[in-house]
């Protein structure tokens, strides 16, 4: 768990880079890939990950401008990736300016549970990681090789000379 804002920011920045790599790999056509016939599209999930950051932080008392048109998914993968880059950077700045290390120990009600602000920030990262996993699966279904996240994708294992890459 985070004991300092600096600890959180370090992890936030690492995770933001991994998410940015996924978003930068999307194509405009891939945004239409659906989970199932009535399900979310890859574009909807990518836009949700992006626009949810200010909503989530505002819910817990941090002042951050919400993204206009959060419901309208852009048709451009580049626009989504650029928005994520700006929003994730702004989120780090907002947290650094508005909370202190002692703020991390404060309790709030989060989705029906009592959690510290440190747990709430961890929840934001877990939310993004969850959806990033969905995006990499949909990328495969859309015919796009996903970038490595916590390890290389299967194609890169093969280039490393590993015949049977770990699952």
The pLDDT tens digits of the residues spanning 21-71 come to 999 999 999 999 998 999 999 999 999 999 999 999 999 999 998 877 767
How far apart are alpha carbons 28 and 144 in whole angstroms?
12
Does some domain include residue 164?
no
Does some domain include residue 96?
yes
Does some domain include residue 153?
yes
- pTM greater than the 0.75 cutoff: yes
**Is residue 157 pLDDT above 90, yes or no?**
no
Does some domain include residue 102?
yes
Does some domain include residue 125?
yes
Q: Are 25 and 72 in contact (CB under 8 A)?
A: no
DSSP 60: T
- Average pLDDT (4-30) is 98
How far apart are alpha carbons 117 and 67 in whole angstroms?
23
Among the residue ranges 7-21, 57-71, 92-106, 137-151, the one predicted with the least confidence is 57-71
**Beta-ladder partners of 116:** 107
Domain span including residue 72: 5-159
**Residue 134 tokens, joined:** 């969905």
Contacts 24+ apart (CB under 8 A), 27-30: 27/77, 27/142, 27/144, 28/75, 28/76, 28/77, 29/142, 30/77, 30/138, 30/139, 30/142, 30/143, 30/144
Task: Give me the number of domains the chain comprises.
Answer: 1
Does some domain include residue 167?
no
How far apart are alpha carbons 88 and 16 in whole angstroms?
7
Q: What is the CATH number of the domain that holds 142?
A: 1.20.120.450
Does some domain include residue 66?
yes
Phi, psi of 133 (to 5 degrees): -60, -45
Q: How confident is the model at residue 151 (pLDDT cuts 50, 70, 90)?
A: confident
Does some domain include residue 166?
no
Q: Are 42 and 138 in contact (CB under 8 A)?
A: yes
């Amino acid at each position: 768990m985070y004991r300092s804002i600096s600890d959180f920011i370090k992890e936030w920045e690492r995770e933001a880079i991994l998410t940015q790599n996924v978003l930068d790999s999307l194509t405009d056509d891939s945004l239409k890939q659906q989970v199932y016939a009535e399900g979310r599209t890859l574009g909807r999930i990518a836009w949700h990950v992006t626009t949810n950051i200010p909503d989530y932080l505002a819910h817990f008392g941090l002042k951050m401008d919400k993204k206009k048109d959060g419901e309208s998914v852009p048709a451009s993968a580049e626009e989504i990736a650029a928005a994520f880059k700006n929003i994730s950077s702004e989120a780090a700045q907002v947290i650094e300016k508005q909370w202190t290390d002692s703020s991390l120990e404060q309790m709030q009600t989060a989705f029906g549970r009592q959690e510290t602000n440190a747990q709430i920030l961890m929840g934001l990262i877990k939310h993004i990681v969850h959806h990033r996993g969905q995006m990499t699966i949909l990328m495969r279904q859309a015919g796009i090789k996903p970038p490595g996240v916590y390890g290389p994708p299967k194609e890169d294992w093969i280039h490393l000379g590993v015949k049977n890459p770990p699952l």
